[in-house]
Chains A and B, each alone.
Chain A
């Protein structure tokens, strides 16, 4: 998915309005006609768009560069996994394909969040990456790495034990992708529930009326998957 180095540091996808011929006539360097600089990492997103990350110069950010390099490393691992010999056992093959899909989705989400973080740096008067988007990109990239390095469970559904330190709270969950789409369709969770492997967001709802809830990303990949949800700071509103 890493398609090499090119361009000057912005998201592609739409043709530029300004004609190249006019640029050439005026001696202005067109982004399309410019020779790709070697200091730009170009990554392809899940929807076909490309994201360019400057690694040096005035548009460079060390954290963005690190994330881009992490995603490049993921791409190499994913490509390697795709080349591996197919499983003979249909169940094992299904699990492996599912794990690969989870890793690819997490990688794509990481890039999407990095793109969003870069957009804040480039398209606002903040001049720096959006910290929330960076945190999500980090989490997505970590999830992809974890999935790629995890031993495949024997089944696509695994036993889970998700609990919380918040007294008398109830737990709900939804897939990370639905959560990204701002879905409000939470499913209630029961301890010991078998869940399909994947990336989820869990919500802790305190029993006390009016108390704010708390959300946390959970990767369900091992059998069993155990996790205790503990608000580190003030709960999310």
Chain B
């Protein structure tokens, strides 16, 4: 099977991972229907024996291609970041569709054999959107994003019915702007910076998720959500007088990689620290890229950037899990609060090493809004369920 996957990848003429990587990278996958794939183990930040604490439906969106005239340039960083972030929530993708996105029904990071036998359906659903509807259209359009959001919510509700509880995880890496009305928004592939009606406001996604969370009966927490916006919140023109703020909502954990007026910086080859050489090498190999004909204007060259947050997330979870296993042993929990603090600390460290950010004298504030109860909920289980 491994050999078939390698051959399939090479025959596609698209992604060109190192030949030796095939055996190393696809140890537990079954079939492949697309050259898009998800890597979970960055070599120097391997995440081992870490499981999701709750049944999860994930939607990871990395908008890399923008239409001509959008007013923003295309960047591979967003899709690479989304792929890497998704890697924490999935071992690898079982893929559908020729190039649209990886639609994976996965057994999370723990091998199937180690999952609790009592679970009716131990799978999590993880979907990664990096490109458009296939063919020559490499744009992720506004309508497709809103459709995927609705699908993810519907999948989450189905999972809640079968599992009794569910966590909906949504991650968005895209170009972002703070509108004149003070609302932070992100830009789909078919957006234009000059037309706010083509953007998607954070608030619209939050409202959709809040409607999903309304499924919680009084006193219950069967529905929960982790919503991560990894976008800029800079302005074009005059800054709004009162940027929108999000209040804590029961069931919802909202993470923003930047505050109003700030850029969300990317980790790049030129900002490589010694310990992350492997990460950069990996992104240069074209992590998770579709075949050339579906890549649009970018990705004709080796990719070498990704958002800071996914990398920080990966390495923070790896470090936290390693420390817990070494210090405590057995089955341990990484709560939402633990995860966020570790990720933020790691992100701050990366950000302090970006020379252009220092030259401009800018800051980037990664923040989380959650109730105390939601922050205390388990996000990952170290040592695996049932161990």
Residues in chain A within 8 A of chain B (CB atoms): 8, 10-11, 13-14, 16-18, 22-23, 26-31, 34, 57-61, 116, 119-128, 130, 132-133, 182
A124–B360 alpha-carbon span in the complex (Å): 13
Knowing A17-B284, A123-B268, the reply to whether A59 touches B173 (Cβ < 8 A) is: no
Is B269 in contact with A16, judged by CB distance below 8 angstroms?
yes
Closest chain B residue, CB of each to CB of A180: B359
Which residues of chain A come closer than 8 Å to B359, judged between CB atoms?
Answer: 116
Is A18 in contact with B284, judged by CB distance below 8 angstroms?
yes
* Chain B 247-282 near chain A by CB (<8 Å), digits 1 or 0: 000000000001000011110111010000100110
Taking A17-B277, A23-B302 as known contacts, 15 extra A-B pairs with beta carbons closer than 8 A to each other, sorted by chain A number, are A10-B270, A11-B270, A17-B281, A27-B16, A28-B16, A28-B286, A116-B360, A120-B360, A124-B263, A124-B264, A124-B266, A125-B232, A126-B72, A126-B176, A127-B66
Among A10, A116, A126, chain B packs the most CB atoms within 10 A around the CB of A126
Is B73 in contact with A58, judged by CB distance below 8 angstroms?
yes
Closest chain B residue, CB of each to CB of A34: B301
B123 at the interface (CB under 8 A from A): no
Is B360 in contact with A126, judged by CB distance below 8 angstroms?
no
B83 at the interface (CB under 8 A from A): no
Is B71 in contact with A128, judged by CB distance below 8 angstroms?
yes
B206 at the interface (CB under 8 A from A): no
Closest chain B residue, CB of each to CB of A64: B73
Knowing A18-B302, A31-B302, A58-B297, the reply to whether A128 touches B16 (Cβ < 8 A) is: no
Closest chain A residue, CB of each to CB of B364: A124
A99–B277 alpha-carbon span in the complex (Å): 45
Which residues of chain B come closer than 8 Å to A22, judged between CB atoms?
Answer: 18
Among B19, B73, B359, chain A packs the most CB atoms within 10 A around the CB of B73
Is A26 in contact with B360, judged by CB distance below 8 angstroms?
no
The B interface, classified by DSSP as helix, strand, loop or mixed, is loop
Knowing A130-B360, A133-B360, the reply to whether A124 touches B232 (Cβ < 8 A) is: yes
A230–B234 alpha-carbon span in the complex (Å): 28
A116–B358 alpha-carbon span in the complex (Å): 11
Which residues of chain A come closer than 8 Å to B314, judged between CB atoms?
Answer: none
Which residues of chain A come closer than 8 Å to B270, judged between CB atoms?
Answer: 10-11, 13-14
- Min distance, Cβ B309 to any Cβ of chain A, angstroms: 10
Which residues of chain A come closer than 8 Å to B307, judged between CB atoms?
Answer: 125
Q: How large is the interface on B (under 10, 10 to 19, 20 to 34, 35 or more residues)?
A: 35 or more
Which residues of B220-237 have CB atoms within 8 Å of chain A's CB atoms? Answer: 230-232, 234, 236
- Min distance, Cβ B120 to any Cβ of chain A, angstroms: 40
Closest chain A residue, CB of each to CB of B355: A119
A128–B235 alpha-carbon span in the complex (Å): 11
Residues in chain B within 8 A of chain A (CB atoms): 16, 18-19, 65-66, 71-75, 77-78, 173-176, 187, 193, 230-232, 234, 236, 258, 263-266, 268-270, 272, 277, 280-281, 284-286, 296-298, 300-302, 305, 307, 354, 356, 359-361
A31–B301 alpha-carbon span in the complex (Å): 7
Is B356 in contact with A120, judged by CB distance below 8 angstroms?
yes
The A interface, classified by DSSP as helix, strand, loop or mixed, is loop
Which residues of chain A come closer than 8 Å to B284, judged between CB atoms?
Answer: 16-18
Is B281 in contact with A125, judged by CB distance below 8 angstroms?
no
Is A127 in contact with B16, judged by CB distance below 8 angstroms?
no
Which residues of chain B come closer than 8 Å to A122, judged between CB atoms?
Answer: 73, 75, 266, 268, 305
Closest chain A residue, CB of each to CB of B65: A58
Is B280 in contact with A17, judged by CB distance below 8 angstroms?
yes
A161–B264 alpha-carbon span in the complex (Å): 43
Q: Kindly list the 6 A-B residue pairs having the minimum CB-CB distance in the complex, ordered from nearest.
A: A127-B72, A58-B297, A127-B175, A124-B263, A119-B356, A58-B74
Which residues of chain B come closer than 8 Å to A123, judged between CB atoms?
Answer: 77, 265-266, 268, 305, 354, 356
Q: List 30 A-B contacts (CB under 8 A).
A: A8-B301, A14-B269, A14-B270, A16-B284, A17-B280, A18-B284, A18-B285, A22-B18, A26-B19, A28-B285, A29-B300, A31-B301, A57-B297, A58-B65, A58-B296, A59-B73, A59-B74, A116-B359, A122-B75, A122-B268, A123-B265, A125-B175, A125-B263, A127-B72, A127-B75, A128-B71, A128-B236, A132-B360, A133-B360, A182-B361
Which residues of chain B come closer than 8 Å to A61, judged between CB atoms?
Answer: 73
Closest chain A residue, CB of each to CB of B268: A123
Which residues of chain A come closer than 8 Å to B360, judged between CB atoms?
Answer: 116, 120, 130, 132-133
A77–B377 alpha-carbon span in the complex (Å): 66
- Min distance, Cβ A62 to any Cβ of chain B, angstroms: 11
- Min distance, Cβ A8 to any Cβ of chain B, angstroms: 5
Closest chain B residue, CB of each to CB of A60: B73
Which residues of chain A come closer than 8 Å to B236, judged between CB atoms?
Answer: 128
A128–B354 alpha-carbon span in the complex (Å): 18
Which residues of chain B come closer than 8 Å to A29, judged between CB atoms?
Answer: 300-302
A119–B362 alpha-carbon span in the complex (Å): 13
Q: For A28, give its contact among B231, B258, B297, B302 (CB under 8 Å).
A: B302
Closest chain A residue, CB of each to CB of B297: A58
Q: For B16, give its contact among A11, A26, A125, A132 (CB under 8 Å).
A: A26
Which residues of chain A come closer than 8 Å to B281, judged between CB atoms?
Answer: 17-18
